[in-house]
Amino acid sequence: MNVTVRSLLVAAAAALLVPAMSAAFAADQPASSPTRGAATAAVAAQAGKIAPYHARFGRTQPVIAIIGENSGTELTDYVIPYGVLQQSSVARVITVATQPGPITMRPALRIQPQATIAEFDADFPEGADYVIVPAVVRRNDPALLAWIVAQGAKGGTIVSICDGALVVANTGLLKGHRATAHWATQALRAKAYPDVDWVKNVRYVADGRIVSSAGISASMPVSIALVEAIAGHDHAAALAHELGVSDWSTAHNSDVFRPRFGVNLMAFVHTTYSNAHLHAMQRIGVPVAAGVDEIALALTADAYSRTGRSHAYALSASAAPVQTRHGLTLLPDRVVGGANPVDRVLPAFDATPSARMLDQALAGIAQRYGRSTAYGVALDFEYPGFRK
C-alpha cells in the first residue's frame, strides 16, 4: 500500500482511537485536588515495609521460588527478582515452572527453569519462605493456582509482581488484603475482585504475608525491599548502589501513566497501533554469551519488544544454552550467521549498572524509532524516569 495512503488511514484511525481510549480510561482518572500530593504521600506511608525474615526449619538462608507458567510469563517480572536476589547472596533462589520444559517469556526470550513445581516440592517439602509470582498468560492455570495456595498454607510469603496480582487474586489469597498491580488493570481488578483493597499510587504494598508490586518497573524496588527484609537496610543499600538504584521506597504515582488526551495518548497510539501498521517489524539481536547480565538483558529485550516496531531475539555464537551472570539458563533465539538473521544487532552490554540499562534501552529506542515511541514503552513499563 502507498505510504501516503497508509498514513492517511492511520491518521483517520487514530482520530477515532484517541477519543475512544481517552473515554475508556476517563472513569479511572482522579479528580484534581490541592490535597492530592499529600494523599499520595499518605498512601505510600501506609503501604508498609515487608516484614523482617525469621528463619524456619533450621535454614541458614530463606528459600525463594520464582514461579513461571510455561506458555507465557512476563520477562522482567521473572528475571529481575532473580537477578537482584542472586546478586544479594542472601537467599537460595530457585526458578520454577508449572511443567517440564522451557518457559516462553513475554514479550521475548526463552528460559529453562531449574525445577518443576513437583521437583521443587520434592526438594523442599516444607515449602518456600517466599514465592514470587509474575504476570502470566494463563492466570487461571489450575496447577499454578493450587501450588501457590499450598505454598501459602505452608507459611510462605506470596510476592506478586505487576499483574501477577491477578494470579494471586484468583487463588483467593488476596481476599481482605491490600494489594496493587499494573495501572492498566485497575478498573478490571476493582470489578473482578471487589473483596481486595486495591491501592493506587504506590510502588508496592506489604500486608502481612501478602506483598504486591505495581507495574513492570516496580520489580526492581520491591526486590530490593525483600533483600532489606531478609538482610537489613545496610545490605539493601549497598546492593541498590551496585545496581544503580537510588530509591526503593513505596513512593509512586501510578495515575500519571494513564492515557490522557493531549498529554501522552499519542504515545500509546504509536506503540499499540500505528507503528505496526506503518513500519515493517525489525528483528533486533541482543548479544548473549556466558556471564551476560540477566537484568540488563531482560530490560533491553522487554523494552525493544514493546515498541510496535521491533522484536528482540537472544543472539548467540551457538545454539547451546547460555548461563547468565547469576546462573539463569537462557535458550538462544538466533545464532550468528544462522538461517534466520536479525536486522540489527545491539552493542554488547557495557559496565553500566544493571538497573540503568532501561534508560539506555529507551534512549536507543528514541534514537531509532522516535521519542514518542520510547515514551510509550516507558508508560507501559510504568517507569517514572523517562519524560516525553
Q: What is the pLDDT of residues 341-373, one digit of tens each?
A: 999 999 999 999 999 999 999 999 999 999 999
242 band by pLDDT with thresholds 50, 70 and 90: very high
- pLDDT tops 90 at residue 77: yes
Pairing of strands 322-323, 329-330: antiparallel
Report the distance separating Cα 355 and Cα 296, nearest Å: 7
89-98 average pLDDT score: 99
5 band by pLDDT with thresholds 50, 70 and 90: very low
What integer pLDDT is reported at residue 256 of this predicted model?
Answer: 87
What integer pLDDT is reported at residue 345 of this predicted model?
Answer: 98
DSSP codes of every residue in 29-78: PPPP-TTHHHHHHHHHHHH-PPPPP---TT-SS-EEEEEE-TT-EEHHHH
What integer pLDDT is reported at residue 166 of this predicted model?
Answer: 98
Report the distance separating Cα 275 and Cα 198, nearest Å: 33
What integer pLDDT is reported at residue 26 of this predicted model?
Answer: 36
- pLDDT tops 70 at residue 333: yes
**Per-residue burial over 157-187, b = 16 or more CB atoms within 10 Å of its CB, e = otherwise:** bbbbbbbbbbbbbbbebbeebbbbbbbbbbe
- pLDDT tops 90 at residue 38: no
Percent with pLDDT over 70 in the chain: 88
Report the distance separating Cα 353 and Cα 349, nearest Å: 10
243-255 average pLDDT score: 95
Cα–Cα distances (Å) from 105 to 150, 155, 161, 312, in that order, read 25, 28, 15, 12
60-75 average pLDDT score: 99
Burial bucket for residue 77 (CB in 10 Å: 0-12, 13-18, 19+):
buried
In this structure, which amino acid lies at residue 195?
D
What would you measure as the largest C-alpha separation in the chain, in angstroms?
69
224-244 average pLDDT score: 98
Cα–Cα distances (Å) from 373 to 14, 16, 268, 364, 379, in that order, read 15, 20, 8, 11, 10
- pLDDT tops 70 at residue 1: no
Q: What is the pLDDT of residues 174-209, one digit of tens each?
A: 999 999 999 999 999 999 999 999 999 999 999 999
293 and 325 in contact (C-beta within 8 Å)?
Answer: yes
Which among 184, 152, 188, 186 has a CA at the least distance from the CA of 168? 152
- Domains, the chain, ranges and CATH? 46-254 (3.40.50.880), 265-381 (3.40.50.880)
Q: How many CB atoms lie within 10 A of CB 100?
A: 12
- Residue 253, SS3? coil
- pLDDT tops 70 at residue 27: no
What integer pLDDT is reported at residue 47 of this predicted model?
Answer: 62
What integer pLDDT is reported at residue 46 of this predicted model?
Answer: 52
Report the distance separating Cα 286 and Cα 144, nearest Å: 31
- pLDDT tops 80 at residue 97: yes
Report the distance separating Cα 198 and Cα 57, nearest Å: 33
pTM of the model: 0.88
Q: Which of 5-14, 104-113, 123-132, 297-306 has the lowest mean pLDDT?
A: 5-14
How high does pLDDT run on average in the chain?
89
What integer pLDDT is reported at residue 215 of this predicted model?
Answer: 94
Report the distance separating Cα 84 and Cα 3, nearest Å: 45
222-236 average pLDDT score: 98
237 band by pLDDT with thresholds 50, 70 and 90: very high
Q: How many CB atoms lie within 10 A of CB 337?
A: 7
- pLDDT tops 60 at residue 81: yes
- pLDDT tops 90 at residue 21: no
Cα–Cα distances (Å) from 20 to 6, 42, 213, 264, 269, in that order, read 21, 33, 29, 14, 11
Report the distance separating Cα 369 and Cα 183, nearest Å: 25
- pLDDT tops 60 at residue 35: no
- pLDDT tops 50 at residue 41: no
8 band by pLDDT with thresholds 50, 70 and 90: very low
Residue 157 CA from chain centroid, whole number: 19
29 versus 244: which is more confidently predicted?
A: 244
Q: What is the pLDDT of residues 134-148, one digit of tens each?
A: 999 999 999 999 999
- pLDDT tops 60 at residue 340: yes
Report the distance separating Cα 49 and Cα 53, nearest Å: 12
333 and 314 in contact (C-beta within 8 Å)?
Answer: yes
